[in-house]
Amino acid sequence: MRFIHTADWHLGRTFHNVPLVEDQAHVLNQLVDVVRETRADALVVAGDIYDRAVPPTDAVRLLGDVLERVVVGLGVPVVMIAGNHDSPDRLEFGAPLLSARGLHVRGTLDPDAGPVVLSDEHGPVSFFLLPYAEPPLVRERLGDDGLRSHDEAMKALTAHLLGSQAPGTGLSARRPRSAARATGSPAPGRSVLVGHCFAMGGESSESERPLSVGGAGTVDTAHFRGFSYTALGHLHRPQAFGSRVRYSGSLLKYSFSEADHRKSVSLVELNGAGEVGAQEIPLSPRRDVRIVEGFLEEILGGPGPRTPSGGSPDDYLLVRLLDKQAILDPMGKLRDAFPNVLHVERPGLWRTGEVQVAGRERLRESVLDLFAAFFQEMTDEPLSAEQRAAFAEIVEAVDRDAREAGP
């Protein structure tokens, strides 16, 4: 079976207050072309479909257009889950009706829902869908009060799913094309887990929302060993853990920390014996995201020794000016040549390199770390373990409410 693995579309996102819907439509057009040209049997989207719980209307229209072109136009089923940015209930609206046409959406966690099942010439493949869920919800759904961390929750969920594989269960996926026909019973043999989490050892970027304020949000990839392939979302850099666990990465670069990323979707092929192979198919953005460093005259005069060659003047740019003297309206001067300069840094005005590095590192600290530093500064006492846990619980509750309420 051949399917496309993608994730982290973040439809409706803005980048330094610039709406990205046209940029997202540009790469999604390429995704539809990839599905058609590779003759994929399915499209898998592993969470963070939208950038926030209440997405803007143009993002909803874009998603509807893309899904119609894939499911109706190409006759390719879509398997999609909610990520930590999505509203589970809103994303899952109409799911039973949509599944009859080949659009299979799982927004809320239901460990007993059974897999979506597709078949090819070798037989059935079970797609197990695990939308993002925080440990308290997993405790409730599995009835296990001992599940406290994301790792414990994922271990219990995957064990539950693997233990529930039995002929005669699951959701048959309608497939109009003969290459992958619908079937009514899953097989314990070939299986794909679709999940949204932070795998231990994964490389993150600045554009991902933390899954846990206390820093215990990672999960061990050993929990995925029982599946032929695990399609993950959440981390924006494409990366793999062996041949069977993979992040496809995000559609676009959503922060300047991703300037060196190569965005892509993953073409996954699962043979009759359950052996898996994957390759990255690159996406070409409408505008790239780049960091340019140098002196103002050098940058405006063209590529210099400190300025990356190539790229388009219309790219989204962060410019680091090395000039140490005052400059009148540097942003205006830069935008005359590069209209999409989004941010200007002046490290040349900072006192030392140590101050520059310290400032950047402080911006990367979590809310909990920043509060702990503030608490110690004010009280001359470190936060106790109980205080850290209480603060983390409060911040996570506020974050959950903010996600659901929208902007």
**Is the pLDDT assigned to residue 171 strictly greater than 50?**
no
Fold entry, domain 2-282: Purple Acid Phosphatase; chain A, domain 2 (3.60.21)
Beta strands at 245-247 and 239-241: parallel, antiparallel or unpaired: antiparallel
- pLDDT bucket at 376, cuts 50 / 70 / 90: low
Confidence (pLDDT) at 192: 97
C-alpha 30/C-alpha 34 separation (Å) is: 6
pLDDT of 363 over the 60 cut: no
Place 377 in a pLDDT band, splitting at 50, 70 and 90: low
- pLDDT of res. 175: 43
Q: Which helix (H) or strand (E) holds 291?
A: strand 289-294
Instruction: Name the more confident of 172 and 111.
Output: 111
Give which of 324, 258, 305 is closest to 15, Cα–Cα: 258
Average pLDDT for the chain: 85
The residue count of the chain comes to 407
* Nearby residues of 301 by Cβ (< 8 Å), 6 or more positions away: none
Residue-range domain boundaries for the chain: 2-282, 289-358, 365-405
Q: pLDDT value at position 179?
A: 40
Contacts for 382-388 with beta carbons within 8 Å, 24 or more apart? 388/214
pLDDT digits (tens, 9 = 90+) for 227-276: 999 999 999 999 999 999 999 999 999 999 999 999 999 999 999 999 99
User: Does residue 70 or residue 145 have the better pLDDT?
Assistant: 70
What is the secondary structure of 329-380 as a DSSP string? SHHHHHHHH-TTEEEEE-GGGSS-HHHHHHHHHHHTS-HHHHHHHHHHHHHS
- Residue 140, SS3 per DSSP: helix
181 pLDDT above the threshold of 50: no
- Apex 82 CA angle, 166 and 188, nearest 5: 15
Decide if pLDDT at 185 tops 50.
Answer: no
The CA-to-CA distance between both ends of the chain, in Å, stands at 41
pTM of the predicted model, to two decimals? 0.83
Q: Are 118 and 125 in contact (CB under 8 A)?
A: yes
Q: Please tell me the predicted confidence (pLDDT) of residue 183.
A: 39
Comparing 10-14, 87-91, 203-207, the range with the smallest average pLDDT is 203-207
Which of 29-33, 88-92, 145-149, 182-186 is the least confident region? 182-186
Buried b (16+ CB within 10 A) or exposed e, 123-153: ebbbbbbbbbbbbeebbebbeeeebeebbbb
- Mean pLDDT, to the nearest integer, of 368-391? 72
How high is the pLDDT of residue 392?
67
Closest CA to 13 of 214, 250, 226: 250
Whole-angstrom CA distances from 310 to 205, 256, 270, 291, 313 are: 24, 17, 38, 12, 9
Dmax of the chain from CA atoms?
74
